[in-house]
Amino acid sequence: MLWANITLYRSGGVGGDRTGTGHYPLLAMSFSLSRKQGFDTTGVGYETADLPVLLPGQSRVDPTVFDPRDWFGPDRRGLPFELEIGSGKGTFLVQQSVLQPGVNFLGIEYARAFCRYAADRVRRNAIANVKLLHAEAGFFVQCYIPDGIVERVHIYFPDPWPKARHHKRRLVQEPFLRMVHSRLVSRGCIRLATDHTDYFEWMCDHASRVSDLFVVEPFENTASAGEGELVGSNFERKYRREGRPFHAMVLRKIG
């Protein structure tokens, strides 16, 4: 039954410039960054060192002490809040945020150079509703996200850790899904997309283990995606040119 609401996408040609419709041209983008590049992340980028230190015996920070929504300022504090885990160079965040100015987006990226690049990109474009955090996502969600505040969690093309001995490092698995469930608002969701068939089968297996918490729904393309795209991230565009198949689904919180 789980597979009934899962979609397989075949890579085809890429769309062109859709400027004027809210979509963006497909631009070739380097996946490496020069060590000489300097980035200004002022007011946008945060580091793990900026987070409150957990006290002895404390597994989560008191939300009265720290709440990531405060990073957006008092005027935006009460707006819907979404997470992207694995933001890369920030393409999805930059494109989607301008279409949803009434939503706050926090991108979490483990690769510091990419995180700083994305934060500088957001700053240069003067986008007020996006912040970036350089941190390990599982640790941050577990320890620093209050319960019941996240509308959507976007996880697009996460590291598949293909070797069997590394599967334990995969982000999407039962304990993580159960943890995220408590952070979501009522009827909130986790949006998943990958080009790795084995990882997607793994995701489906672990989704079936949390069927008491989530229902599986079809994946709808993001508003910022170009023609024929799922989300329009750098990785998707790279993999689409390589002709890889894509898999995607949505896990919707029950209740």
Question: Which are the contacts of 167, defined by CB distance < 8 A and separation ≥ 6?
Answer: 161, 202
> Would you state the CATH architecture of domain 2-23+78-253?
3-Layer(aba) Sandwich (3.40)
Task: Answer whether residue 32 shows pLDDT above 80.
Answer: no
CA separation for the pair 9, 100 (Å, rounded): 25
Mean pLDDT confidence for 31-57: 85
Could you tell me which residue, 234 or 215, shows the higher pLDDT?
215
Q: Please, which residues bridge with residue 217 across strands?
A: 250
Q: Where are the domains of the chain?
A: 2-23+78-253
pLDDT band (50, 70, 90) for residue 166: very high
Q: Find the length of the chain.
A: 255
Active-site amino acid positions: 159
Question: Which are the contacts of 34, defined by CB distance < 8 A and separation ≥ 6?
Answer: none
Whole-model pTM: value is 0.86
pLDDT, residue 163, reads: 96
pLDDT, residue 16, reads: 29
Task: Answer whether residue 211 shows pLDDT above 80.
Answer: yes
pLDDT, residue 18, reads: 25
Question: Which are the contacts of 179, defined by CB distance < 8 A and separation ≥ 6?
Answer: 138, 141, 142
For 188: left if phi > 0, alpha if psi spans -120 to 50, otherwise beta; the answer is beta
Task: Answer whether residue 25 shows pLDDT above 90.
Answer: no
Task: Answer whether residue 7 shows pLDDT above 60.
Answer: no
Task: Answer whether residue 91 shows pLDDT above 60.
Answer: yes
pLDDT, residue 124, reads: 97
Question: Which are the contacts of 184, defined by CB distance < 8 A and separation ≥ 6?
Answer: 148, 150, 151, 153, 190, 253
What pLDDT digit, counting tens, does each position of 176-196 carry? 999 999 999 999 999 999 999
What pLDDT digit, counting tens, does each position of 106-159 carry? 999 999 999 999 999 999 999 999 999 999 999 999 999 999 999 999 999 999
pLDDT, residue 28, reads: 34
Of the candidates 7, 9, 6, which has an alpha carbon nearest to the alpha carbon of residue 245? 9
pLDDT, residue 77, reads: 93
Terminal-to-terminal C-alpha distance of the chain: 20
CA separation for the pair 96, 99 (Å, rounded): 5
